[in-house]
Amino acid sequence: MSTATVGPLADEAATLVIRALLDYRTLWTTHDLVTTTGLPAPTIRRLVAHLEQEELVRRHGPGVVAVPDWLVLLQRWSKDFRFKGQANLSRWRPKRRTPPFLERIPTTQIRHAVTGAQAAHHWAPDTPAGPPVIYTPDAELAATAWELVPAKTTSIILAEPTTDIVYTRTRTTDSGLRLAAPTQVLADLLTGTIKSPRSATPLTTWMLNNEREWRY
């Protein structure tokens, strides 16, 4: 794991728990979190105790917690789980005379999840433009399948993640393109997929106003 990852909420176990807490709008028992994340109960209890200490979850009974403010939790998580510390990045561009890049992705069997501004634009069209950023397990394999060549400038970013959580609860567009979950996209925008500090604002606003559309 990258040396940039130093916070208590940055490891894979914490990420599994926090993504579950963010993605679902519900009361949680320890058993529910064990079932959803696959983590052992002692690990769940330890992480929930830490989140409770930071007032990121609120207890509603013995072994029952809920998230009082999902955005506060996501912003706190983003301080530890930083995009550039959780993925190996490489830059690419399309070969000449090829069909539009994003149209080719769904025609292949390559695992992927689009994040950053391109994904945010699906929900919040006023998101400032930014380069396509795509999570994929093997950048070289994906580049071959998607007809990309290495680039010095930031044309397309392929990100090889250190955890599979980025592929969890993806959304699929009408064309078959898979987008990272809104919570993952927002966290990535907050921590570096594009440089503008305003890049996350439109998606944040959409998520606040449409919680029942993205939070199960």
Beta strands, E only, the chain: 28-29, 58-61, 64-66, 87-94, 113-115, 133-135, 148-150, 156-161, 171-172, 178-179
pLDDT at 56 over 50: yes
Amino acid at 44: I
What residue type is 82 in one-letter code? R
pTM of the model: 0.92
Q: Are 92 and 149 in contact (CB under 8 A)?
A: yes
pLDDT per residue as tens digits for the range 57-101: 999 998 899 999 999 999 999 988 877 677 899 999 998 776 788
Q: Which domains does the chain have, with CATH numbers?
A: 12-80 (1.10.10.10), 83-214 (no CATH)
Q: Is 97 left (phi over 0), alpha (psi -120 to 50) or beta?
A: left
pLDDT of residue 86: 77
- E strands along 28-166, which residues? 28-29, 58-61, 64-66, 87-94, 113-115, 133-135, 148-150, 156-161
In angstroms, rounded to a whole number, what is the distance separating the alpha carbons of residues 55 and 67?
Answer: 9
Backbone angles phi, psi at 94, to 5 degrees: -70, 150
